[in-house]
Structure 1
Amino acid sequence: MRRTDPEGHGPVRFAPPAPEPGLPVLPELASALAAAAGRGPTEVPGGSAALREAASGYWERRGLTADAAHTVAAPGAAPLLLALTAALAGDVLLPRPCPAWWAPAARLVGRRTYSVPTPAECGGVPDPYALLETVRRVRDEGGRPRVVLLSVADDPTATVPPPEVLHETVEAALGEGLHIVSDETWRDTVHDPHDTVLISPAEMAPGRVTVIADLAGGFLPGDWPAAVGRFAATAEGTELRARTLDALTGLGAVVAAPVAAAAVHALAEPDGVTARRAATVALYARVADAAYRLVRSAGAFARPPQAGRHLYVDLEPLRSGLARYGVGDAMELEDHLTRRLGLPVPGGHRFGDDLGALRARLTLAPLLGATATEQLASLAASEPLELPHVRRALSMFGSALDELRDTARRMEPPR
């Protein structure tokens, strides 16, 4: 059994911060929020008609048929998943690693969770063969697997599952009668949309998939909590939405009216919002690639980042160097890198990964600049990697990794 309260570390009670945009709030979103700050009517559980219509339009533009009657809104993806999991009876299967808030949401409503390894080429989805084996084992032990969670643009691994891999996983899940919940929070942050094909499981199996998306992924700041869910336009989907809405109502999980107004504006995707998102994605693509190359040059592992604002690294090749600093597992790695880099670096154990593995998620936002002026300069620059503050931040990042590589080499026995 994987340790969650290892001796000498203390309990793991807090989740790591979500990757921040690292940029000032878009002025037109701030204006939309401020204009609604004095509004009298409050939002209702599940979201107002305006918010649900905006969510429907967002999905329609991405090829997913949706109408307001089959959508809901919640104050963040975690309460939405909590309500959805409460509405779905049965055990929950998760890819390993997975977003840090998935498992707690299931456990809070008494659902057992089971981790399934991901394929070698990507994160975000369970390996289809490992999924089938896990389902068999859970049933043999008396469990009732019912739900599989997956992500088409993954936090923490920053990868996008290839269509053929996603198709095999979806087929395996449907063949075992599992309901698929697709977290598409980061789908609009794909670094190279021309060479990276992103497909939603809802396109493959419209009647068997529920889609959720936290608007912090591509639209709103993380501290303006809002998320939307899309349910299948079937009798089962209608019933599932009703049960989810009941749970949201019981939780009092209502989007704040000013945040809802900003969400409606953002989901309509006016030119200003679309331009800022495109520029942000392009900036992170450049910075993520630079950070990835520094990780590889230091002798560590990482999958090439394809989406999001972070990088998932495996420092196993540097284990001997890390041991010099008293680092032997992911919790100790988290403590060491957080101190060394001066920013939160959650270990892989927070994402359901093996405690003994030396993996961690590196957030890239600090590389954009320490002030709003520097961050906006990074956003506007044609060559952001040439800016002094970005070069300096990347140099410090690379130096920390090179230090571990050099220490590891010194620890190697002579040949």
Structure 2
Amino acid sequence: MTVTLSATLAANEDIERRRRAGERVLHLAFGEAGLPVHPALRDKLAAASERNGYGPVAGASGLRAAAAGHWTRRGLLTDPELVVCGPGSKPLLYGLLLAIGGDIVLPMPSWVSYAAQADLVGSRPILVPAPPGEGGVPDPDLVATEVRRARANGRIVSSVLVTLPDNPTGRLATPATVARLVRVARELDLMIISDEIYRDLMHDPILPYTSPADLAPERTIITTGLSKSLALGGWRIGVARLPENGHALRRRLLAVASEIWSAPAAPVQEAAAYAFGDPPELTDRIVRSRRLHGAMARAVRERFVEIGASVPAPQGGFYLYPDLSHLRLGGSAEITKILLEEHGIGVLPGHAFGDDPSAARVRVAVSLLYGDTAEERLAALNSPDPLRLPWIAANLDQLSSGLKELSLVRHGAVSERHPALVPEPCHG
């Protein structure tokens, strides 16, 4: 098995190296929330800084109770004894793959770490396209076909994973699609892992949202964390809600956790317990965050649409998934390289998300466009019209300029920035 650095982390480090070397690169490759820590969270963490004991493997009782309340307020009555905490939802997903066993069905495209983690634990992922216009949920009819085929070939397929809303597409699967998947999961006895870390960042909070746990609580695991909704990626805290009667799964997951991370960091658990209590000052922060993410995602989409790209309208999180195949500049790897090296725009190639390498689709994250300092990011968060802030307007102008150059180069037009791309005149 060949293990490589995660595509998102590798791209982030490469772009930061280029910036330190003086290159002007627009950073659209990394899914970091790009906002400052709320002062109340910072105070909670500081107050808990003396807590240095390991604590329970499942997480502190206060955090598990707070997370249970968080889900209960969203219509999912939750037993704190079926909540397991970890140092981020990513390790929890890895632990769940080990605890469940067998092969897993993934949407195509889907977050880069799902298939990579499956490979690490010896699970062979089955990639199934999402229904047209949707994202994050594999087409239920195709899931049934692929699982039956795999089982006929002797494979053990145990689970299916969904992301609501989705990374990389920014789309939300419809309640009808989720219901169809639940019927297939019941028919084929599949566990459903529902990654809902972007749930509170729906751009339109009245858009119908259905979790598989609403329909199949007996076979659905939900994972979430604070990395996205409250921009606490570096704090590394996540929680998993296990299915009804999931005590045997809990025991297996805790056995895995005890050998990998022992327990989440105690001070961070204290702050997270406060956050999962949904206090008004933090719910207000989340409302303003999703408003900013939505405004920026729509603005960035407009820039891609202007050059003829096909871009599904974003519905949640801070991602877009443009298709630049109309430019005929190659597949996802080629278009990503051209964007970065010739136009100063850093994105991730669609093939890193399991997509067809020949398609020129790329994942765009807009959340690092809000500013270079905490003061600029806070101003963007609080502004009634963040797109008019000078630094954000400059970022959008740079994006427009680079994309227009890309489009002009495709049509053989002269580019002052890239004279080397212009054919030399013939003499004689």
| AA of the residue aligned to 2:48 | A
Matches within 5 A, 1:160-175: 160-175=172-187
In structure 2, the residue corresponding to 1:365 is in which secondary structure?
Answer: coil
1:126 and 2:126 matched: no
Task: Give the aligned partner of residue 113 of structure 1.
Answer: 125
Query: For 2:64 and 2:310, how far apart are their aligned partners in 1?
Result: 42
Match of 2:200 among 184, 188, 192: 188
Deviation at 1:278, TM superposition (A): 0.6
CA distance in 1, matches of 2:358, 2:112: 17
The equivalent of 1:8 in structure 2 is: none
Is the 2:44–2:270 contact (alpha carbons within 8 Å) kept by the matching residues of 1?
A: yes
Which amino acid is 1:188 matched to? D
Q: CA deviation at 1:348?
A: 1.2
Please say if 1:337 is aligned against 2:314: no
Q: Of the candidates 267, 275, 293, which is equivalent to residue 284 of structure 1?
A: 293
CA contact (8 A) 2:194 2:220 kept: yes
Distance 2:65 2:405 in 1: 52
Question: How far, CA to CA, are the matches of 1:137 and 1:169 in structure 2?
Answer: 17
Residue number among 214, 217, 220 corresponding to 1:203 in the alignment: 214
CA-to-partner distance for each residue in 1:27-85, whole Å, 9 max, x for gaps?
Answer: 11111111111224333212111111111011001011102101100101221111111
Partner SS state of residue 146, structure 1: strand
CA separation of 1:262 and 1:355: change in aligned 2, threshold 3 A? same
Cα distance in 1 between the residues matched to 2:4 and 2:88: 22
Distance 1:347 1:197 in 2: 30
- Give the TM-score normalised by the residue count of structure 1: 0.90
1:14 corresponds, among 6, 9, 14, to 6
1:46 corresponds, among 34, 58, 64, to 58
Separation in 2, partners of 1:239, 1:134:
28
1:82-161 → structure 2 map (5 Å cutoff): 82-161=94-173
SS of the aligned residue for 1:302 comes to coil
Q: What residue identity is the alignment partner of 2:313?
A: P
Question: Which residue pairs with 2:325 in the alignment?
Answer: 316
The reply on whether 1:263 has 2:272 as its aligned counterpart is yes
Structure 1 segments (4+ residues) deviating >6 Å: none
Instruction: Report if the CA contact (8 A) 2:343-2:403 is conserved.
Output: no
Distance of 2:338 and 2:271 partners within structure 1: 38
Residue identity opposite 1:15 in structure 2: A
Gaps of 5+ in 2: 10-29, 414-428
Answer yes or no: is the 8 Å Cα contact 1:78–1:105 preserved in 2: no
C-alpha distance in 2 between matches for 1:233 and 1:142: 29
Question: For the Cα contact (< 8 Å) 2:175–2:210, is it kept in 1?
Answer: yes
Identify unmatched segments of 5+ residues in structure 1: 6-10
Which of 365, 382, 385 does residue 384 from structure 2 map onto? Answer: 382
Aligned length: 393
Whole-angstrom distance in 2 between the partners of 1:142 and 1:248: 30
User: Over aligned residues, Cα RMSD in angstroms?
Assistant: 1.8
Q: 2:253 aligns with which of 239, 244, 247?
A: 244
Aligned counterpart in structure 1 of residue 191 of structure 2, from 179, 182, 185:
179
**Secondary structure of the corresponding residue to residue 368 of structure 1:** coil
Counterpart of 2:244 (choices 215, 218, 233) is: 233
**Is residue 75–residue 253 contact of structure 1 (8 Å, CA) maintained in 2?**
no
